[in-house]
Amino acid sequence: GAGVSQTPSNKVTEKGKYVELRCDPISGHTALYWYRQSLGQGPEFLIYFQGTGAADDSGLPNDRFFAVRPEGSVSTLKIQRTERGDSAVYLCASSLGLGAGEETQYFGPGTRLLVL
């Protein structure tokens, strides 16, 4: 079946602009995660959803970052007033659920964001 997909694959924007990054999880996966990965680093947790609700958004760096998952499937990560420091690869992952045996995450290819 289809894996996790993310669009766009690359996004170049100017400082101060608004961007939206989309994630389409594996069908039937109820949990969805967003990560940010800077060059040479491991993925850094941002937020995760169980169904439609954000269960833990403690990794969002500030209030310029926001994510939604209105129907429990596709999620959008929104970044307002982008800054050069937001440049990174944004990874999305989904898992069947959150319980034992369901928690293995499968990642999308990422969106490479460059803020000029």
Partner 1 sequence: AQKITQTQPGMFVQEKEAVTLDCTYDTSDPSYGLFWYKQPSSGEMIFLIYQGSYDQQNATEGRYSLNFQKARKSANLVISASQLGDSAMYFCAMRGFTSGTYKYIFGTGTRLKVLA
What does the binding site for partner 1 look like in residue numbers (CB under 8 A)?
31, 33, 35, 40-45, 48, 50, 55-56, 58-59, 89, 91, 93, 98, 100, 103-110, 112
84: phi then psi, degrees, rounded to nearest 5: -60, -30
Which residues have C-beta within 8 Å of that of residue 42, sequence separation ≥ 6?
A: none
Q: Which is nearer to partner 1, 23 or 31 (CB)?
A: 31
Q: Which is nearer to partner 1, 40 or 70 (CB)?
A: 40
Distances (CA, A) of 3 to 15, 23, 68, 87: 32, 11, 20, 25
For residue 81, the minimal CB distance to partner 1 (Å) is 26
For residue 16, the minimal CB distance to partner 1 (Å) is 27
Contact 81, 64 (CB under 8 A): yes
Q: Which is nearer to partner 1, 16 or 61 (CB)?
A: 61
Q: Which is nearer to partner 1, 56 or 83 (CB)?
A: 56
For residue 73, the minimal CB distance to partner 1 (Å) is 19
For residue 86, the minimal CB distance to partner 1 (Å) is 18
> What would the DSSP string read from start to end of 71-116?
TSS-EEEEE-S--GGG-EEEEEEEES-SSTTT---EE---EEEEE-
